[in-house]
């Protein structure tokens, strides 16, 4: 189902759960992707969950993103925070529109999508039960941490990633743990690209932490 909701919402795809389940995966693409990019990935890591996949609204040289950046790895923090809150509002509206369980939404983000998912977790923790962050960086350093007790995060990073500095995944993991989230950090023998092991690890993590 391809749809756009009124006002300032997002072009998106919604695929209902294939069986009875409370879980919805919020699929967040990387730079240059769109609302279809991660549908197969979402189904691969969880065969029955509902899939909600918005398209980023910011364009960089014609390529969709979820927030502006000033240079590679340098984020426009004001825009990042605005867009993360806008995306959180979209999720709240979508869960009502599609009659989803708002308590069981897990973000699955790649690269730019992972960074906005991390920002959403820090800014609007009530919207997400957890997050799978594939090739994520620290989105920003909050003045104070929210309480993420009861939230779970998987960070999956590439040992040879030329885009994400090597200290970033560990720093992000420490930040979430300091906020009392349950954090799993996985290192893959890969660069910025995703591998089959990323999908297998995400599937196993979801099986342990999310409702079937």
Active site residues: 111, 161, 192
> Where is 27: in which H helix or E strand?
strand 24-28
Contact at 8 Å (CB) between 83 and 47? Answer: no
Contact at 8 Å (CB) between 108 and 23? Answer: no
Q: b or e along 7-34 (b: 16 or more beta carbons within 10 Å of the residue's beta carbon)? A: eebbbbbbbebeeebbbbbbbbbbbebb
Contact at 8 Å (CB) between 166 and 142? Answer: no
Written as six digits, the tokens of 16 are 């209902």
How would DSSP label each residue in 81-104? HHHHHHHHHHHHHHHHHTT--TT-
Number of other residues whose CB lies within 10 A of the CB of residue 164: 21
163: Cα within 13 Å, side-chain hemisphere: 21
């Amino acid at each position: 189902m391809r749809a756009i909701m009124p006002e300032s919402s997002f072009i998106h795809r919604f695929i209902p759960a294939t069986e009875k389940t409370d879980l919805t995966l919020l699929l967040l693409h990387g730079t240059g992707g769109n609302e279809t990019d991660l549908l197969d990935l979402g189904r691969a890591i969880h065969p029955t969950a509902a899939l909600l996949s918005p398209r980023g609204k910011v364009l960089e040289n014609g390529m969709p993103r979820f927030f502006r950046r000033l240079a590679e790895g340098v984020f426009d923090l004001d825009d990042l925070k605005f867009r993360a809150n806008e995306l959180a509002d979209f999720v709240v509206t979508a869960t009502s529109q599609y009659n989803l369980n708002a308590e069981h939404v897990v973000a699955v983000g790649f690269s730019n999508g992972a960074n906005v998912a991390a920002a959403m977790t820090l800014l609007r923790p009530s919207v997400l039960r957890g997050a799978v962050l594939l090739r994520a960086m620290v989105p920003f350093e909050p003045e104070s941490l929210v309480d993420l007790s009861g939230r779970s995060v998987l960070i999956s990073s590439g040992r040879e990633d030329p885009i994400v500095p090597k200290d970033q995944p560990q720093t992000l993991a420490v930040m979430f743990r300091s906020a009392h989230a349950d954090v799993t950090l996985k290192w893959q023998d890969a660069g910025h690209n995703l591998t089959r092991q990323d999908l297998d690890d995400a599937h196993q993590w979801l099986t342990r932490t999310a409702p079937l």
